[in-house]
Amino acid sequence: MSYSVKEIFFTLQGEGANSGRAAVFCRFAGCNLWSGREPDRSSAICRFCDTDFVGTGGVGGGSFADAGTLAARVRAVWGDRGGGHRLVVLTGGEPLLQAGPELVAALHEQGFSVALETNGTIAAPDGIDWICVSPKAGSEIVQRRGDELKLVYPQQGISPELCEHWKFHHFFLQPMDGPRRRENTEAAARYCMQRPQWRLSLQTHKIAGFP
């Protein structure tokens, strides 16, 4: 199949258990919870997204004819950095609208561990090395197991208690960004101290000023 990708870039993972780790981010175009267009935000299931995933015009983005071609581009973006430990993060939008077993296999052939950031509404294919699910209120979550659950907090309609029994190794609360970010951070921190199953995840890439 072909792939529509908004952008591909090298950076440090800014969130969750892999925070601070070097990675290539491959951001797919499109999402099933919001069109990405502002006129549609008020009627979307996910109304707080802060990511541009519309089209293919971002840095390194484009249309890729097959999995091998896209995996080769990811490898080229990693470049000649030494030390191994190649990591690619498939994100979006919703990457599982496009990414499947063929792409995962092609990325493995290029020497990458494959991490996934998904909203959990589509079951993840076998072979992914790290699964991070960020559930959104009002959606049907079918991917209830993985490595990392990252709940944007607070969200009306979904609380940590609803998903704390899902099968994940790490549970994170990430304060919702926006005009109430400070209050949301304080609330998330208090919750994590009250229920230590949960850990606080800050968007360190925004704090440090990198992509």
Which active-site residues does the annotation give? 25, 31, 46, 49-51, 117, 205
Cα–Cα dist 210/11, whole Å = 7
Cα–Cα dist 147/110, whole Å = 23
Q: Spell out where the chain has E strands.
A: 3-12, 22-28, 62-64, 87-91, 113-118, 130-133, 145-153, 167-175, 199-200
Helix (H) or strand (E) holding 72: helix 67-78
Given the DSSP bridges, would you call strands 130-133 and 145-153 parallel, antiparallel or unpaired?
A: parallel
